[in-house]
Amino acid sequence: MKKLKTTLLCLIAGTVLQTSAQNMNPIYLDNNQPVEKRVEDALSRMPMEEKVELCHAQSKFSSHGVPRLGIPEIWMSDGPHGVREEILWDSWSAAGWTNDSCTAYPALTCLAATFNPELSHAYGVAIGEEARYRRKDILLGPGVNIYRTPMNGRNFEYMGEDPYLASQMVVPYIQGVQQNGVSACVKHFALNNQEEWRGHINVNLSDRALHEIYLPAFKAAVEEGHVWSIMGSYNQLRGEHCCHNDLLLNKILKGNWKFDGVVVTDWGGAHDTKQAALNGLDIEMGSYTNGLSSKAKFGYEDYYLAKPFLALLKTGEVPVSVLNDKASRILRLIFRTAMMPNRPYGRFVCPDHSSTALKVAEEGIVLLKNDRQFFPVPTGKYQKIAVIGENATRSVTEGGGSSTLKVKYEVSPLEGLVARYGKEHIVYSMGYASGPSLYDREEPSKMNTDSLFNAAVETAKNADVVCFIGGLNKNHFQDAEGGDRKSYGLPFGQDKLIEAILKVNKNVAVILISGNAVAMPWVKDVPAIVQAWYLGSEGGNAIANVLCGETNPSGKLPFSFPVKLEDNAAHSFGKLSYPGDSINEYYKEDILVGYRWFDTKKIKPQFAFGYGLSYTTFEYGKIATDKKTYSPDEAIRVSFTLKNTGKVDGAEAVQVYTSQPKASVMRPEKELKAFKKVFLKAGETQTVEMEIKVKDLAFYNEATQSWTVEPGEFVLCNASSSADVKSKVAIQVQ
């Protein structure tokens, strides 16, 4: 009784104090106060219950604010390529709003393929403006999980196989989003490199692989991008779920990297109250709830970081300092977003956003093969162009899982080509049928596969050239969340159809719309191949601009295309290496992911990381450094000339790789440490200059659990791809 009285007295006193304090324009509401002061003041006004409320969902895509203090809720939305339509309060269903059809930007594999960080910033600004306009405080993206296997259903959402490329491209995206007063949420932290058993698969790997391959993009997002939130992944790392993993979240993220933002679960990624409390989780979001009443099984108030958390705090089993740290981080995010002074208002579906989407799409398209100068095909060159394939007309902005979008518009490849060449010169035949799209499209089962096939061959026979537009399509098992691909080859009989078309017409270009590498049995038979990603609302215009030559392609592959799946590192060590035995998985290729594997094992990929052709040609001068010897804290200034030796203006993503021939540990043959997209007019020469910090030549030393640069020789090379080294230069590190 006495305790209750004391508590009541404190509450009344507190309220009286507050009321009087509140009259003096309280600090937490004062826009002129620094964020940290506002956090401190708000925290001091909140009882435990209000702090616990901050730590979990109140609906499918929102978490609590502090209504009594006028501190707003946090509203979140997918996704990395555009702002998802409004979802109902407590289900995955669409709310059916009519004001939420967005601009779809290209998938992040396309953004990575531009090798253009400035474009990444423009992308972030544009998508951030749309998230702000839709009144979202957290945009649930970008994703930077490393491309370890071509089977991963979600590779299309990420930035490829190289940690340096992903690091350089993720930072400007985050900065662009956050300048709108919207938090980016880099995901999925970490080791979510497949969809098979994603909810629990326990990843085992070496410290070197963890730190050298899988963490750098997240580290850059935190230390350089200053990302305000991060999403834990569903899988486990060394026996602990990543949404509450002591090593990842406490030691590395909040300890070493000094992350001051908020860790959010993936939806339903929390599994234990004490671990969620003590292992670094801040906000628990979820999938299984009836948030309308706590009586329902697993209602929001029953979440691990809801009532059960409060109970542990009350018994003292979890110290209040743990709660205060979470609440401070969440309040900090609110003061950076919803309560940001002079917060911009954003914009939604405007010409600027369309031109950004178009620019990223154009610069990300990769020309893989172009024999006999097949491309560009200027308008008027041919009377009849056959466009064949379902991906020429199918929407690729919907589907794929949580990154699915309801768009204001989407220019299909066929529409783009018809607009460009004139409908009298384009004849379309679907050729093959896949699973049902979300729109009320004719079910393939009603279509006779043979008649589609035969009609397409007939169309090809009567045309001057053929543009086969196929690939994958973000249906289940075809580049989609929740499931990995079942085969490396193209689905729906595309390979057979391409072979049949080639029998009646040799002039065939294959244009792949996908987010993953695929087998190419026809690679020698077709004169031209284009890797066109999921390109978003402006996709058809970007494809038309590149194919007709208005835009000179400059994209380069952010991941390797193996000839066959068995050539891939993760697929070279049996089931335990991929997809695991349903409980454990062992990353046996260790640090040799992607080109690191192909180089070191001398396996020739179909198309290499960093590879992409242009309609012009480039000549590289010999690489040089400003000195011969460097101390560990210096930067190496690299330079070489680059000449556009062709007849059209173009851009080249030049790359610099480094290697340490005599290291005391196994190191890949070479590793990307610098790149730059150089725009050159026809005939123009530029001297390209880049910097590489000596400290970035380090390997992760498992003995000392820190980064080590050994003295001795390092070799730097300039290259147009990981498989095309132009010249080398050796330096000494003291």
Point out which residues bind ligand GLC (CB under 6 A).
Answer: 78, 140, 187, 266-267, 402
Give me the least distance between CB of 396 and ligand GLC, in Å please: 18
Give me the least distance between CB of 594 and ligand GLC, in Å please: 23
Cα 420 to Cα 549: distance, rounded to the nearest angstrom: 11
Q: DSSP string covering 95-157, please?
A: ---SS--BPPPPPHHHHHHTT-HHHHHHHHHHHHHHHHHTT-SEE---B------TT-TTGGG
Give me the least distance between CB of 173 and ligand GLC, in Å please: 15
Choice between 229 and 514, CB closer to ligand GLC: 229
Give me the least distance between CB of 187 and ligand GLC, in Å please: 6
* Residue whose Cβ sits closest to ligand GLC: 402
Choice between 117 and 128, CB closer to ligand GLC: 128
Choice between 157 and 390, CB closer to ligand GLC: 157
Q: Which helix (H) or strand (E) holds 453?
A: helix 449-461
Of the CA atoms within 13 Å of residue 706, those in its CB half-sphere come to 6
Structure tokens at 547: 């194919």
Which region, left, alpha or beta, applies to residue 398 given φ > 0 means left and ψ of -120 to 50 means alpha?
beta
Q: DSSP string covering 473-523, please?
A: -SSTTSSBTTB--S-SS-STTHHHHHHHHHHH-S-EEEEEE-SS----TTT
Give 708's strand partners: 699
Cα 603 to Cα 595: distance, rounded to the nearest angstrom: 9
Choice between 477 and 679, CB closer to ligand GLC: 477
Give me the least distance between CB of 449 and ligand GLC, in Å please: 34
Give me the least distance between CB of 247 and ligand GLC, in Å please: 21
- Omega of the bond prior to 142 within 30 degrees of 0, cis? yes
Other beta carbons within 10 Å of 439: 8
Strands across the sheet containing 724-733: 629-630, 724-733, 712-721, 650-659, 671-680
Type of residue at 695:
K
Give me the least distance between CB of 161 and ligand GLC, in Å please: 20
Choice between 214 and 618, CB closer to ligand GLC: 214
Which region, left, alpha or beta, applies to residue 217 given φ > 0 means left and ψ of -120 to 50 means alpha?
alpha
Give me the least distance between CB of 515 and ligand GLC, in Å please: 15
Structure tokens at 464: 């001057």
Q: Tell me how far apart the terminal alpha carbons of the chain are, to the nearest angstrom.
A: 72
* CA 175, 34, 16, 311 torsion-angle sign: positive
> Are β-strands 62-63 and 508-513 bridged in parallel, bridged antiparallel, or unpaired?
unpaired
**Which residues have a catalytic role annotated?**
266
Cα 398 to Cα 315: distance, rounded to the nearest angstrom: 48
Structure tokens at 730: 């050796």
Q: Which residues contact 8 (CB under 8 A, 6 or more apart)?
A: none
Choice between 330 and 529, CB closer to ligand GLC: 330
Looking up tokens 């300890």 gives 255
Choice between 267 and 468, CB closer to ligand GLC: 267
- CA distances, 449 to each of 477, 492, 496, 706 (Å): 20, 9, 12, 58
Choice between 264 and 593, CB closer to ligand GLC: 264
Report the chain's C-alpha Rg in angstroms: 27
Cα 477 to Cα 491: distance, rounded to the nearest angstrom: 10
SS3 557: coil
Backbone angles phi, psi at 87, to 5 degrees: -110, 150
Type of residue at 475:
N
Choice between 140 and 544, CB closer to ligand GLC: 140
Give me the least distance between CB of 9 and ligand GLC, in Å please: 44
Give me the least distance between CB of 284 and ligand GLC, in Å please: 13
* CA 572 distance to own-chain centroid: 25
Choice between 279 and 402, CB closer to ligand GLC: 402
